[in-house]
Structures are given as structure tokens and as C-alpha cells.
Amino acid sequence: MMVGDLVAIFDMGAETVGNLNRQTDSANQDLGALVRRFVDAVTPLEGRFSGAGKAAFDNFKNRSDLVASELNAALAGIVQGQSGMNTAFQQGDLAASDNARQSEGSANFDGARFQGRA
């Protein structure tokens, strides 16, 4: 793999991580609601189980709020990590731009001119 190929793999626009962060945040809010909707959808089955099936169903239903909360907390952690990564990328982009400008300002472009010999 050549350097150009690696650059293409890691070439991200300035908004890439921010967009990913917004999408994950939206999924974070939706996931807990989906778990609760699932529990609501299976509630009519509640009286149809007996024995171990009933115990498993009751355990699931009783733990559904905990499951939804834990999923939301896990995704919230991912969102927080993505937010930090976005900040780091933006700061790195600014630092690279500043370094390039600074290096360009101190470069001696006249000294690099090649003149033919007679």
C-alpha cells in the first residue's frame, strides 16, 4: 500500500466526525424508546406463559427499563468519545494549517530557483 492510498483511507472532511456524532446521538435517543416500545408490544403476551417461560418473561419485562437505561448510557459514552475526537480533529486541523503557514513564511523560495549555466 502506498502513502497516497493511506491518505485516501484517512481523508476525512472537517465535518465527518461531527456528523457521525450527531447521528450517534440521535440513535442514542431512539434506542431506549425502541426497547420500551418492544416491551409495550409484547405486553399482550404476558398472561400466556407459565412456569419457566413466565419467569423469563417477567424477568425480561422487569429489567426492560434497566436495559434501556444501560443502552442509553453506553451510547451516551460513545457520543461523548466522538465529541472529544471531533474536538481533537478540529484542533489538529488548525495546528496543521498554522504550522504550514508558519513554515511557508520562513521558506526562502528565491534560494530554490534553479538557473541554467551558460
State how far the alpha carbon of 21 is from the alpha carbons of 24, 70, 77, 85, 87, in Å.
Answer: 5, 19, 11, 9, 11
List domains and CATH numbers for the chain: 17-102 (1.10.287)
How high is the pLDDT of residue 117?
56
Sign of torsion, CA 4 107 94 85? Answer: positive
How high is the pLDDT of residue 112?
64
pLDDT digits (tens, 9 = 90+) for 59-87: 888 888 888 888 888 888 888 888 888 88
Q: Is the pLDDT of residue 113 over 60?
A: yes
